Structure 1
Amino acid sequence: MAGSVHCEPEVEESESLRSNANIAGPMTDPVPGPRTESIGEDVSRETPPPMDDTPIGRAAQLAVEALGRAGEGLPRPERTRVMVVANQKGGVGKTTTTVNLAASLALHGARVLVVDLDPQGNASTALGIDHHADVPSIYDVLIDSRPLSEVVQPVPDVEGLFCAPATIDLAGAEIELVSLVARESRLERAIQAYEQPLDYILIDCPPSLGLLTVNALVAGAEVLIPIQCEYYALEGLGQLLRNVDLVRAHLNRDLQVTTILLTMYDGRTRLASQVADEVRNHFGDEVLRTSIPRSVRISEAPSYGQTVLTYDPGSSGALSYLEAAREIALKGVGVSYDAQHAHIGAQSEQSIVEGIQ
């Protein structure tokens, strides 16, 4: 950076510069979020204001470009793709991946439903969906056979995105399901009876392999496994894959592990590269070429009831999820993904910022 201001190559600092895009004017802040409104300015939302060559100006331009790129649209699948986001290991970015991929696909023009099967309800919180005890939820669908259409809510600020929330009642659903008829396929039946057109259904599973996860595996055709780029990344993965094989053999012949997404990637560490290489060598083409960087903005967004796509659309986390969604959509229709023209790759966040600028 020219002048007297010195910028250290730290992830958090480069992220914070980008977050200041919120004060550049209404064009760069199309949805609610933590921001400082400009006073006394009448800036059209149709025409972006001229950007100066400052960190805030560049960050604002990134946000505009990210949302514009999302609006380009992607090929839609011929039929609804039901993707189960699962990993019995906690803290791998499972819920974060579910909500941000869903928002990315919706911003690309798809109609997307998130089914929150985790009793903690973190996906519902991140999408800004009310899920207190009295709200109709996925628990009512599984236990009381309530129609899915009666519990689905539209997600604020993201057109085409919907959520079937989880409430605390879901914590006891595992025990209640044991005595019910067709206990493994109750979610599948609810989805089949849902009449609203959808391009994608993303199911956020709890970090366990109980009946809730089995219901998700029976209902879905694709399994997406997020794997964090850390030392214990593959711990417990073998059991998940064995369960997928068992469900495929006895309950759902169409079930396949189609997508592996590397999360929490920090290109400044050798360990992250080693884990990424090991995962790619083992799973091959199932691993997306896009990886999700470790990002402060991704972690902050849920506390505001937002995805990173609306919280800070110009951040490296938002750009990465947009690119991952693009890759998933293209793979789904058999179109080859050209990594050379990808907007973001598996590199450190500082390199991402420098490359975009």
Structure 2
Amino acid sequence: MTSPDTRSDREKVVSKLPLRLRQELKIRAAQRGVDIQEAVETGITTWRSLGSNLSPIDTSGAESFATFLPATQWTGFRADCKDRGVSLIQGLAQSVQVWLDHHPAPAVRRPAIVRRIVVCNQKGGVGKTAITAGTGEALAEDPTALMPVRVSKHFAALLDEANDTDTDNGGDRYDPLALEDLPGLGQRVLLVDFDPQGHLTKQLGQEPLPMGGDSLTNHMAGDAKGDLRDVIVAIDEDRFGDRLHLLPACTDAFLLDVRLASVRAREAALERALAPVEADYDVILIDCPPSLGLSMDAAAYYGRRRPDEVPGNSGTLIVVQAEDSSADAYDLLTSQIEDMRTDLALELDYLGIVVNHYDARRGYIATSSLQSWMDIKDPRVVGVIGDLKEQKEAVRVKRPLLSYAPRCDQSVGLRALAREISK
């Protein structure tokens, strides 16, 4: 059945397609960056050009499927199906399969040099741990499945929406029109809990490393007791496959600054410790402690731009809140980073600012502070994450947020953040 499409020279076509092919077509089209209608058009054109019939496809349970095709293509396709003695449903299924066979899923893009993202702010309570975990989860999601991502909104539009408190979702509007289903990024990710408080470790349902055993602190201090891989654990959730790993915290990190004071080239201690495992990952995220001490120096140094590394591949991601004390802490942190840039002649990139725990219902302080962050152009705001209940619930049940509530507004925003800093 067809009907005119007044928007172009295409006509709407309604037929049926097996659910398996519909899903595979939707995912593959998104992976290849093409419209579904273009994929079907190309598949039909290729199918019609073949000189022989293809093996039949099981179309039992086929469900309604609609698309737009160029005018007259469907008529010619119907005639070809009749000549070949196949039903329209069978011909369409074969055409879609032909397109899938000719357009395999693209390989996951992997960086030439492991990306090192240092999530930091010397002020506690801004949500560095949640941003570290959520960004890592978004980077590691299944590349063969589609995830809702907020990509069509510019931050100016987001600000306008955030200022509108007449919403149904706790002051943070969930607008389906601003979402797009995209394949997961499929990156191999290591989350490093660099904070002796161990919030990242506990939130992901893992136990801190025992005192007296091996730990990141020991490796940084030159007292390693084994292979660092032996203390890394996988986050066992289907949507991440075996791509999301954690290096747990150990309370011996409280002594890290003291131990680093006697270490040679102490600013490079974190890099020396993690170097043996870098080849296993595409991205390493460091959840920094709320500190401006030697450990922060080592984390910042680790995020510096290496020889032959493109700008923006690695660097610091600064997490703030829309309130005044975050601005004071931000000034202290950026002063430390600028001092390191100068004293050690580092090329240390800012990946951006994330405004976390945002809630427009808090009034002028929140909205005006958000605008102030937006006004900073270097580093620029790369994400605004709402203060909603799902994150707190995920922490309570010790599960990754993107597994616990994959379609909540925070998950959608974290996927956008992961893509924004991956451009």
Shorter chain as denominator, the TM-score bin is 0.5 to 0.7
Q: Which runs of 5+ in 2 are unaligned?
A: 1-60, 62-104, 142-184, 305-314
Instruction: Choose between structure 1 and 2: higher strand proportion.
Output: 2
2:236 equivalent in structure 1: 156
Query: RMSD of the alignment, in Å?
Result: 2.3
Tell me the amino acid that sits aligned with residue 130 of structure 1.
Answer: E
Task: Check if 1:180 corresponds to 2:263.
Answer: yes
1:78 equivalent in structure 2: 112
Q: Are the counterparts in 2 of residues 259 and 287 from structure 1 also a CA contact under 8 Å?
A: yes
Deviation at 1:86, TM superposition (A): 0.7
What TM-score does the superposition give when structure 2 sets the normalisation length? Answer: 0.57
Task: Check if 1:124 corresponds to 2:201.
Answer: yes
Tell me the amino acid that sits aligned with residue 197 of structure 2.
Answer: Q
Tell me the amino acid that sits aligned with residue 112 of structure 2.
Answer: E
SS of the residue corresponding to residue 179 of structure 1 reads coil
311-320 vs 266-275, greater mean Cα deviation: 266-275
Deviation at 1:75, TM superposition (A): 4.5
Deviation at 1:115, TM superposition (A): 1.1
In 2: Cα distance, 1:291 partner to 1:72 partner: 30
In 1: Cα distance, 2:250 partner to 2:277 partner: 20
Task: Check if 1:138 corresponds to 2:227.
Answer: no
1:253 equivalent in structure 2: 346
SS of the residue corresponding to residue 286 of structure 2 reads strand
SS of the residue corresponding to residue 192 of structure 1 reads helix
In 1: Cα distance, 2:291 partner to 2:107 partner: 35
SS of the residue corresponding to residue 298 of structure 2 reads helix
Task: Check if 1:314 corresponds to 2:407.
Answer: yes
Q: 1:206 to 1:101 in 2, by over 3 A?
A: same
Bigger CA radius of gyration: 2
Tell me the amino acid that sits aligned with residue 198 of structure 1.
Answer: Y
In 2: Cα distance, 1:284 partner to 1:271 partner: 22
Q: Which runs of 5+ in 1 are unaligned?
A: 1-46, 48-70, 331-357
Deviation at 1:127, TM superposition (A): 2.0
Q: 1:147 to 1:250 in 2, by over 3 A?
A: farther
Q: 1:175 to 1:262 in 2, by over 3 A?
A: same
Percent identity between matched residues is 33
Aligned pair count reads: 260
1:192 equivalent in structure 2: 275
1:170 to 253, 261, 269: 253
Indicate the structure whose relative CO is greater, using CA pairs within 8 Å and at least 6 residues apart.
1
Q: Are the counterparts in 2 of residues 73 and 109 from structure 1 also a CA contact under 8 Å?
A: no
1:326 equivalent in structure 2: 419
1:276 equivalent in structure 2: 370
- Deviation by residue 1:91-111 (Cα, 9 ceiling, x = unmatched): 111111111111111112111
Deviation at 1:137, TM superposition (A): 2.5
What aligned pairs does 1:30-109 form with structure 2 within 5 A after superposition?
75-107=109-141, 108-109=185-186
Deviation at 1:218, TM superposition (A): 1.1
Tell me the amino acid that sits aligned with residue 155 of structure 1.
Answer: I
In 2: Cα distance, 1:252 partner to 1:111 partner: 30
182-191 vs 101-110, greater mean Cα deviation: 182-191
Runs ≥4 in structure 1, deviation > 6 angstroms?
71-74
Q: Are the counterparts in 1 of residues 196 and 289 from structure 2 also a CA contact under 8 Å?
A: yes
2:386 to 293, 300, 322: 293
Q: Are the counterparts in 2 of residues 84 and 203 from structure 1 also a CA contact under 8 Å?
A: yes
- Deviation by residue 1:219-248 (Cα, 9 ceiling, x = unmatched): 113000011112322022111111111222
Deviation at 1:286, TM superposition (A): 2.3
Q: 1:299 to 1:119 in 2, by over 3 A?
A: same
Deviation at 1:214, TM superposition (A): 1.1
Q: Are the counterparts in 2 of residues 131 and 137 from structure 1 also a CA contact under 8 Å?
A: no
Deviation at 1:73, TM superposition (A): 9.3
Q: Are the counterparts in 2 of residues 147 and 194 from structure 1 also a CA contact under 8 Å?
A: no
In 2: Cα distance, 1:104 partner to 1:74 partner: 14
What TM-score does the superposition give when structure 1 sets the normalisation length? Answer: 0.68
What aligned pairs does 1:197-276 form with structure 2 within 5 A after superposition?
197-221=280-304, 222-251=315-344, 253-268=346-361, 269-276=363-370
- Deviation by residue 1:231-278 (Cα, 9 ceiling, x = unmatched): 322022111111111222233612122211111111333332211111
SS of the residue corresponding to residue 353 of structure 2 reads strand
- Deviation by residue 1:38-95 (Cα, 9 ceiling, x = unmatched): xxxxxxxxx9xxxxxxxxxxxxxxxxxxxxxxx9997443321101111001111111
Deviation at 1:126, TM superposition (A): 1.6
Q: Are the counterparts in 2 of residues 127 and 305 from structure 1 also a CA contact under 8 Å?
A: yes
In 1: Cα distance, 2:389 partner to 2:106 partner: 27
Q: Are the counterparts in 2 of residues 228 and 265 from structure 1 also a CA contact under 8 Å?
A: yes
